[in-house]
Structure 1
């Protein structure tokens, strides 16, 4: 991941919004970036490039990303709650800065929140245990066709596309 390539693609409003958040929490910026890189690496290994589509692999990617942000920032924040709040802020900001179609955004936000929710039970889990847990959740993910439908699955990952 080329962070400077991503930053160059941001417009002034997007850049300013991101900079304000990172400057307000400078110690949490690096762990979030580290978690992002690790999540993409794990997804590439387990799902190749299909995690860039809107299927089950994408649900896994968003959940593991937000969960790893929690785990990495916990080393700094020392509290689960603060790590979960930061993960929610940073993942929500990503969806705001890189908008998709409304259903895709709703799916991504939901799966990010699921990763944060799962963190509570996986706080002491190894990376291998996290991956296994999330792969099981991914296998049971629910296909949705509308944003409203997503609310019916508060404990499940969701996806849009059946075939990847």
Structure 2
């Protein structure tokens, strides 16, 4: 992934300006997800593996949690998280398979939050850890066939 261009930066900035109360909760959630994954997986979560799948789902859960705390509105938290994480994936211009994997795992995290927004962070982490055991390796062109509740990854490493 390369650095954001000026145009990409402005796209993300415009989104953040639309919901200024959610900027800091989103940043806190993002920082926290990276810290948790660094502690659990080292640098492994920067590859297209199960650790990366976990990180993307956790990132979405945490943004939802932090946005929900700020807004007390589950739908708004979910919509905000979907907008932020989907736009991020689009502007960072990953390879098509990586982008598909990331978008899928982002959705897994949002679905998990949507099913029970009252869970603790530790409970979500345990659920995602369990989901790593049933994660499916993504094959080219097979994403549409996958269960939207399963984490997906590209490589074993």
- TM-score bucket (shorter structure): over 0.9
Q: Distance in 2 between matches of 1:12 and 1:55?
A: 30
State the Cα distance separating 1:68 from its structure 2 match: 0.4
Q: Distance in 2 between matches of 1:33 and 1:70?
A: 12
Q: Matched residue pairs, number?
A: 154
State the Cα distance separating 1:77 from its structure 2 match: 1.8
- Of 87, 106, 109, the residue aligned with 2:81 is 87
SS in 2 for 1:151: helix
State the Cα distance separating 1:40 from its structure 2 match: 0.5
TM-score (norm 2): 0.94
Q: Distance in 2 between matches of 1:13 and 1:158?
A: 30
SS in 1 for 2:149: coil
Stretches of structure 1 that go unaligned for 5 or more consecutive residues are 1-8
Question: What's 1:150 paired with?
Answer: 143
Greater shift in the superposed pair: 100-109 or 72-81: 72-81
State the Cα distance separating 1:99 from its structure 2 match: 1.3
Stretches of structure 2 that go unaligned for 5 or more consecutive residues are none
1:95-150 CA-partner distances (Å, limit 9, x unpaired): 0121111000000000001100110224111111111100000111000121x312
TM-score (norm 1): 0.90
Q: Distance in 2 between matches of 1:111 and 1:25?
A: 24
SS in 1 for 2:142: helix
Q: Distance in 2 between matches of 1:160 and 1:10?
A: 24
1:19-53 CA-partner distances (Å, limit 9, x unpaired): 11111111111101100000001111111110000
Question: What's 2:105 paired with?
Answer: 111
Q: Distance in 2 between matches of 1:21 and 1:64?
A: 21
* 8 Å CA contact 1:67, 1:116 repeated in 2: yes
Q: Distance in 2 between matches of 1:160 and 1:150?
A: 11
1:37-116 equivalences under 5 Å are: 37-116=31-110
Q: Which runs of 4+ in 1 moved over 4 A?
A: none
